[in-house]
Structure 1
Amino acid sequence: MEIVGIGTQNWKSASNQSIDVNNGLILQSESDCTRLRRRDPVPFFRDYVLDLSNGVADKYARSTREVVNLLRNTLLSLNESTKAMLRSKENLETALENIRKDLQLNRETAHLRSLKPKEERLADGADDLLNAERLHLVNLKQALEAKHRGVDELLQQLAKSRAALQKLLSERGRVCDLVCGVTRPAYSRQSTRDSGAPGPGNRPSTCGVGGSGADGIDALGSYTPQCEMVIKDAEDLMRRCKLVEGDVAETLDEVKRLQNTAHKSVNDGLVKKISETVTFDQKLELAAADSRRTINKARRWESFAAKSLGYNLGPEKYSDLKAREKLDRPIIRVYQRHPGNQVPEAQEIIKARNYYEDSLLTTRRNIGLLQLSQRRLEEDMRAKKLAASADLAALRNRRKKADHRW
């Protein structure tokens, strides 16, 4: 017997509708659970996010650490360049001090040579060499001062670059407190010292998280454009330092060679001048000796002529004449009894007296001239000795101070 439903159709429809709705909700719930299971994070999502964040921070810190080491190596290389420039500056200052000492020595030499007697102060080749040395030293001094100014300007630029590197190094290093400072050998301090300043090839290729652009340069990454600019400026300065250091070394060698050449030329000139002065002094001594010999000979002749004149003139009083010396002695009176018989005795005696007097006058004049010439020779010898002494003092002073240790 077929069971016939007793409930109404509406009542059944309401129940079936509730069942359908429930089934739909079940399907929807199961679908949502499946979908949400795929979408929602895993239960350990908190730990996963922590690990992910730590990884991001660690990656950024490690890449920043490479940049920090690169900046530090660049700073070390820049410090070495600064030390080299400081050494070049000290060498330039030493060379300038030596040139100033040489200029002072040049003035001292000129002053010592000016102490010579007036007749020995005439300009000569040694004075020309001193003037040439002074002008040469002035030109060298100006050239070294220009080099010194260039090195000073370069040192100021190095100081600015070092300050920028230190500031950037401090700023980049703020995120490296929790990571080890050791990186791969390419950025170690020893390799940097061996290979020189870090170049563009030594920079990290990927710096920063999600970095983009050429060579990993990213304004929001670890290797920022500011890092690139500061490192490039430092590298340019280091290249300039190398060139300037070589140029300064060559200039100092050339300056030292020219200084020694000028100093030696002046010394050789003084030696030659002293030799010439001593040679003339010896010639003057020989001439003075000849003059003294001639004066003594002339004085002997003067004495002989004076005595001969006295002998020829005879006694001053007529009464002192002997009978044989008188002009009216008997033999002459007998001879003159005949007209025209005369003897030239008186005329010859007078002529002989005139000759002797003229000889005495000439001899005395010659003696006076010889004595005047001898005095001039002695004055010239004295001046030559003083001049040689002054030049010798100047030469000894130059040789004593040639090492610039004064």
Structure 2
Amino acid sequence: MPVLLPPAEPSQDTRVGAPAWREAAHAKSRKAHLLTDRCGQEAVTMWQPKDSVRDPHVAHHLCRAAYIQPWRFRVEMLKGGGTVEKPPPGEGVTLWKGKMKPPAWYARLPLPLHRDARAMQTAEVVHAHARGARLTAARLGRAQHQINAQLQLLQRQREATDLRLSEVRKGLLINKQSVKLRGYRPKSEKIPDKADSMLTWEKEELRVMKRKMEKDMEKSETLLKALASCRDTLGFYCKERLQAVELMNQPLDKVLEQAGRHSWLDLSRPPTPRPQGLKTPPPDPMGTFTPECAAALYEAKRLLMESKDTLAEMAKNETDIQKQQLQISDRVCASLAQKMRETLELKERINMTLGLMRGTIHRCTKFNQEMYVTRGLIKGPLSKSYLATREKLNRPLVLMHQKHVGTQLPEATRLAQGTDKLQRHITHVEKNLNELLTTRDNLAWSLNCKKIGHDVDYNVVRLRLRQRHPHVYYEQAQRLVNDWDPLTPQRSESSSAPK
């Protein structure tokens, strides 16, 4: 029998299911939807950069427009009144067709080609390190080349300075030879004169030059050692850097040209139309340009500047000393030549005086001989057989005259007085003749001394001109001043060898 249901009350909800059942189904659906949205958003977020994550406070349909808005081109006004569209600044690929510039995309999860990407990144790091090592090696090699060139210039200058120092020392030996040779003059010619003063002055000046050149040699030796040490240090660091790039076949000079630099010391860079090259990077203890390399390059730069000044100073000192030494030697030779001319004048005058005195001596000697003959004639003959009648005092007339008192004849008295007067005159003439002979001997000795002095000065000048020639070395001058004695001629080896 059919069951009759009570009539239902009129209601707006026509659904049959229970509300609890329906709420449970809606809750499950919302839970699944939220899970789906969260998982999908998290999955996409892990593949997108952080700034692309949707803002939860912005509506879903407005998120894309707000995210893409910074990508749009910007319209800027020009001074003429026009407009121009420019892409936004920053990294990224500019899409001119879409008037957009999306930023660079960085994923936060490793991509499928993560291993290859990391290998490429590692290769880039290795290549960058190799390029840095190669560039640093090029800098160090160029600096070593410049240091080596400066080292060679300094060695050549040291050779020239040492040669000039040898010339100065040889000048001192020549001065010693001159003084020693002038010491063999006669005593009358050893009176101090201006030539002796010039020799003393030359000695002092040459000593000052010698000390100056020795200081230059010591300074250059210290600089030479520093340059050699810096060159070795640069070579060690360059060889150490080249171990990382020994498989790269690009020349180091090409690396510097690519970097726009010709000299990392910036001392001898030639003018080129290239723009200014890269600056020296800061030292990095973990990179290729370490503080040790920076210190070595700085030391090389300092030594190059110092050696450049030292070379200029040494070259100037060498030229000045060469000119000064030549001028001093010429002045000494000129003073000796002047002394020779004065000696020649005195020789001529003494020679003329000696010639006049020689004629006087001859005349006095002849007159003295005639006085002796006259004295003999006054004294009378030596034998009775030579007596004449007028010579006898016992003649009759004389005997007759002498018988008278007070009648003494003056013949004998006058003869005695004349003989005595003649003898005194002869004695005086002999005294004068002796004085003339003594004076003549003194003049002859003085003339001989003047001749020896002139010859000594001439030999000194000739010796100085010969010894200062560049072909005469210091050892030859030293052997001459040590072994040679002007008064003792040298013996040849053949004569001194035992037979």
State the TM-score, normalized to the length of structure 2: 0.68
* Aligned match of 1:195: 269
Q: For 1:224-239, list aligned pairs within 5 A.
A: 224-239=290-305
* Aligned match of 2:323: 257
* Aligned match of 2:255: 183
Q: Deviations over 1:206-252 (max 9, x none)?
A: 75xxxxxxxx4322223222222221111111111111111112211
Give 1:205 deviation, angstroms: 3.8
Q: 1:206 to 1:357 in 2, by over 3 A?
A: closer
Q: Deviations over 1:307-351 (max 9, x none)?
A: 111222222345633223334545555666766555423222222
Q: Determine which of 161, 166, 169 is the counterpart of 1:92.
A: 161
* Aligned match of 2:231: 162
Q: Determine which of 408, 415, 420 is the counterpart of 1:354.
A: 420
Unaligned runs of 5+ in 1: 1-15, 208-215
Aligned residue identity for 1:82: L
CA distance in 2, matches of 1:227, 1:203: 19
Q: For 1:58-69, list aligned pairs within 5 A.
A: 58-69=127-138
Q: Does 1:138 align with 2:138?
A: no
Q: Determine which of 125, 131, 140 is the counterpart of 1:71.
A: 140
CA distance in 1, matches of 2:32, 2:453: 137
CA distance in 1, matches of 2:362, 2:335: 40
Identical positions, percent? 23
RMSD between aligned residues? 3.4
Q: 1:145 to 1:297 in 2, by over 3 A?
A: same
Aligned residue identity for 1:402: R
2:130–2:245 CA contact under 8 A, matched in 1: yes
Q: 1:203 to 1:63 in 2, by over 3 A?
A: farther
Give 1:159 deviation, angstroms: 1.5
* Aligned match of 1:326: 392
CA distance in 1, matches of 2:323, 2:447: 39
1:274–1:391 CA contact under 8 A, matched in 2: yes
Partner SS for 2:246: coil
* Aligned match of 2:486: none
Partner SS for 1:74: helix
Q: For 1:33-72, list aligned pairs within 5 A.
A: 34=44, 39-72=108-141
CA distance in 1, matches of 2:365, 2:155: 80
Aligned residue identity for 1:229: A
Q: 1:102 to 1:272 in 2, by over 3 A?
A: same
Aligned residue identity for 2:310: V
CA distance in 2, matches of 1:331, 1:345: 14
* Aligned match of 1:266: 332
Task: Give the structure with the higher percent helix.
Answer: 1
* Aligned match of 2:348: 282
Unaligned runs of 5+ in 2: 1-25, 49-107, 473-499
Q: Does 1:122 align with 2:191?
A: yes
Q: Determine which of 332, 352, 369 is the counterpart of 1:303.
A: 369
2:185–2:449 CA contact under 8 A, matched in 1: yes
* Aligned match of 2:286: 220
Give 1:387 deviation, angstroms: 2.2
1:161–1:230 CA contact under 8 A, matched in 2: yes
CA distance in 1, matches of 2:379, 2:213: 89
Q: 1:295 to 1:241 in 2, by over 3 A?
A: same
Higher Cα Rg, which structure = 2
CA distance in 1, matches of 2:213, 2:280: 47
Aligned residue identity for 2:306: R
Partner SS for 1:175: coil
Q: Deviations over 1:65-121 (max 9, x none)?
A: 222222222222212221222122112211111111111111111221122234433
State the TM-score, normalized to the length of structure 1: 0.82
**Paired residue total:** 385
* Aligned match of 1:6: none
Q: Does 1:392 align with 2:461?
A: no
CA distance in 1, matches of 2:381, 2:466: 74
Give 1:272 deviation, angstroms: 1.8
